[in-house]
Structure 1
Amino acid sequence: MNLIELISKIVDSLAWPAVVVLLAFRFKHSLIPILESLSSILNNLNKVKNGGFEMEFSRKTLEIDRASPKAFGSDQKDFEPKINKKDSSPKAIIIEYWIDILRSAKKLHEDQFSDFYLNSDDHMAINDFLAKKRVLNAEGMKIFNELRKIRNRAVHEPDSTITIDQAILFAKQSNRLINYFDKYKKP
């Protein structure tokens, strides 16, 4: 191989990446909204499946896990739920733990905030109570609402979209929130 052939092969291998880079710079203002939309879709995506390839996305549950010490204090003990992965339904786990969250929040209301009228047992009324009485800080409210969204997915989407590992992480976070409610003292 002589020098001219070598240079020709290098130019051939760099041609298409160079064209892609040039097009990206040329149309960057058009590409930015598309890439932002794609990023938003990927952030909320739960599962990608193509033929034999399958990838789980549990970004939200992992974000909740990382934010938990800020919301509930770093003294929270880790909780490993005793869940049989083979025989448990992720949907049932999530619904059961969500009911426990609501029950604990209602108990907190009855024990310490009976002066605050809680007009119903629905999760939006409890959300309002927690926010208005500042029971949870901003990070805690964010976690409460993310758990509510995951609960809504469990109720309104087929079982297959939520994995058992996501349900176990939900149970872990739910227990942290319940422990926080149980230990909470009105200022």
Structure 2
Amino acid sequence: MDCLTFISELIRSLAWPVATFGIALLFRSQIRALLKRIKRGNWGGMEVEFAEDVERISEEAGVELVALDEISESNTNRFIREADPEMRPVLELAQGDPRGAVLAAWTSVDAAMRRLAAAKGVEPSGAMRLMRELAEGGHIRKEDAEQFNELRKLRNSAMHDGTFNPSFESVARYAELTSRLAGHFERLARGPME
């Protein structure tokens, strides 16, 4: 192969990658905006977005959730039997109806927040307004309100997204987060902020 043939082949093999890179560079702001709108992906029947959001919320709250290998498909029934008695109905529901389980888990934290609001004399209203008034009144930490809102967003996804079908593991972890926050609100309703 002579030098000119080599250079010609090199240019031919690099033409499309260089053109693609140039186009991506030229339209980078539009591509970035488009990628921000892509929020969901399915992998093996698991809603990636839901599972990642549950993990992120737990990290932000400083909550160490049960390890995923403890709630794998092979030992789901044992995990349910050994779970907190209040969580068992939600976990049993999660086996066949993950959407219903998320909604059921949400009701515990929503009800606890409403009991807390009543105990602190906050007038009944919508969940977000109650949460804002509890935070502004110093009855809860800002972090509690943020966690509540993030869990509410996930509940809304479960309620309104017809393709919602997360894994049992991610629903169990969501239920654990809602149960912990509900317990925290119940303790606050009985006494001063921790």
Show the counterpart of 1:60.
53
Question: Offset at 1:77?
Answer: 6.2
Partner of 1:73: none
Q: Deviations over 1:83-113 (max 9, x none)?
A: 24873311111111111002222333344x1
1:22 and 2:26 aligned: no
- Relative to total residues, which structure has the larger helix share, 1 or 2? 2
The residue identity in structure 2 corresponding to 1:17 is P
Contact 2:103/2:155 (<8 A) preserved: yes
Distance, in Å, in 2 between the alignment partners of 1:5 and 1:54 is 51
Q: What amino acid is the match of 2:184?
A: Y
In structure 2, give the amino acid aligned to 1:174.
Answer: T
Residue 47 of structure 1, aligned match among 33, 41, 52: 41
Structure 1 residues 137, 12: closer, same or farther in 2, change over 3 A? Answer: farther
Residue 78 of structure 1 deviates from its aligned partner by: 3.7
Cα separation, 2, equivalents of 1:64 and 1:182: 20
8 Å CA contact 1:91, 1:154 repeated in 2:
yes
Matching residue of 2:151: 147
Alpha-carbon separation, structure 2, partners of 1:41 and 1:147:
20
Residues 93 and 101 in structure 2, CA contact (< 8 A), matched pair in contact too: no
Q: Among 116, 122, 137, which residue is 1:117 paired with?
A: 122
Deviation at 1:13, TM superposition (A): 1.4
TM-score for the superposition, normalised by structure 1: 0.70
| Amino acid of the structure 2 residue aligned with 1:186 | P
Equivalence for 2:12: 12
Runs of at least 4 residues of structure 1 off by over 4 A?
A: 52-55
> Is residue 102–residue 126 contact of structure 1 (8 Å, CA) maintained in 2?
no
Alignment length, in residue pairs?
168
Pairing of 1:76-115 with structure 2 (within 5 A): 78=65, 82=80, 83-84=91-92, 87-111=95-119, 113=120
What TM-score, normalized by structure 2, do the two folds share? 0.68
- C-alpha change, 1:37 and 1:48, in structure 2 (3 Å) is farther
Q: Unaligned stretches of 5+ in structure 1? A: 70-75
Gaps of 5+ in 2: 72-78, 81-90
* Contact 2:94/2:171 (8 A) holds in 1: no
Quick one: distance in 2 between partners of 1:137 and 1:146?
Answer: 15
Q: Is the 8 A contact 1:90 1:162 kept in 2?
A: yes
Contact 1:118 1:129 in 2 (8 A): no
Q: What residue identity is the alignment partner of 2:32? A: E
Instruction: Output the aligned Cα RMSD.
Output: 3.2
C-alpha separation between the residues in 2 aligned to 1:8 and 1:47? 41
